[in-house]
Structure 1
């Protein structure tokens, strides 16, 4: 697949609005960053999973969007297994996904993206993905989007 341009990236990222982010991390070969979303923030909707692969990704910054006051009330290990909070004052980590709201920002260029583009000969972009658990800031050169089959595993411990 040929490289996508900023407009195509923006169009693909528009689909992330209010989806459920269920996994993010570098691929096992550590060059690309993958974001896996469930087709709806509502797990009862039964929609499939989609992989957004940010290719040639030299920088990702992940910051918690859960405030310190909520963190302080959300340290209980039981919340790792709790799918819904017993009150709004805690974060139920066990929900196993976070709503991407407001979602993805527009692809931007910066001094750093221009420097990488100049050195590598391909365009680079920066985007922000914002959810109710994390904010991800990614710098990358290309994006591919694919549907995932049941059983997809981003990493397997070798035998």
Structure 2
């Protein structure tokens, strides 16, 4: 995707819900899974999307939850919605984050420029803001896919980790 297409893809999911994010199981690309909905009156069905940030050389995730709220959110019951919904604190158990203020590309990123020169490949820096985490990614390309029901970004196998090569 070119820069204009990446920006348009970011706009398409403004204020939607991030349900999971992390490196893909092959560890090269960074995935952000989004639950996208429209006003029910439109008749557009909700869908799960995977935003795959390809050739991701840097991923930094920090908490967007302020320290005072964190302090009130340490109760283990808050990781389960049913147990935590009536407690004070951040209810981690909702299992999603509001994609607001959203995703944007930085126009002048020293990290992206340095990596672009080192790899001889155009790289960009995306900043993702939510109510739970702020994520910064340096990557080369973006692919957007619809994710089918039952998809799992990681599955534990008999070998223990899904390793394809020799075990440790």
Structure 1 runs (4+) deviating above 6 angstroms are: none
- Displacement of 1:41: 9.7
Q: For 2:134, what is the secondary structure of its paired residue? A: strand
Distance in structure 1 (CA, Å) of the matches to 2:108 and 2:26: 26
Name whichever of 148-157 and 99-108 sits farther off. 99-108
- Displacement of 1:113: 1.3
Q: What corresponds to 1:31 in structure 2?
A: 28
Query: Are 1:133 and 2:132 an aligned pair?
Result: yes
The count of residues paired between Structure 1 and Structure 2 equals 153
Q: What corresponds to 2:9 in structure 1?
A: 12
Q: For 1:69, what is the secondary structure of its paired residue? A: helix
TM-score (norm 1): 0.89
Which ranges of structure 1 fall in alignment gaps of 5 or more residues?
Answer: none
Distance in structure 1 (CA, Å) of the matches to 2:73 and 2:109: 36
Q: For 1:71, what is the secondary structure of its paired residue? A: helix
Q: Give yes or no for contact 2:38–2:45 (8 Å, CA) kept in 1.
A: no
Distance in structure 1 (CA, Å) of the matches to 2:99 and 2:75: 24
Q: What corresponds to 1:99 in structure 2?
A: 98
Distance in structure 2 (CA, Å) of the matches to 1:138 and 1:74: 27
Q: Give yes or no for contact 1:41–1:99 (8 Å, CA) kept in 2.
A: no
- Displacement of 1:111: 2.4
CA-based RMSD: 2.0
- Displacement of 1:115: 1.9
Q: For 1:105, what is the secondary structure of its paired residue? A: strand
Distance in structure 1 (CA, Å) of the matches to 2:70 and 2:108: 33
- Displacement of 1:105: 1.6
- Displacement of 1:78: 0.9
Q: What corresponds to 2:149 in structure 1?
A: 150
C-alpha change, 1:37 and 1:48, in structure 2 (3 Å) is: same
Distance in structure 1 (CA, Å) of the matches to 2:79 and 2:45: 23
1:101-152: CA deviations, max 9, x gaps? 1111234342221221122222100011100000001100000000000001
Distance in structure 2 (CA, Å) of the matches to 1:33 and 1:116: 16
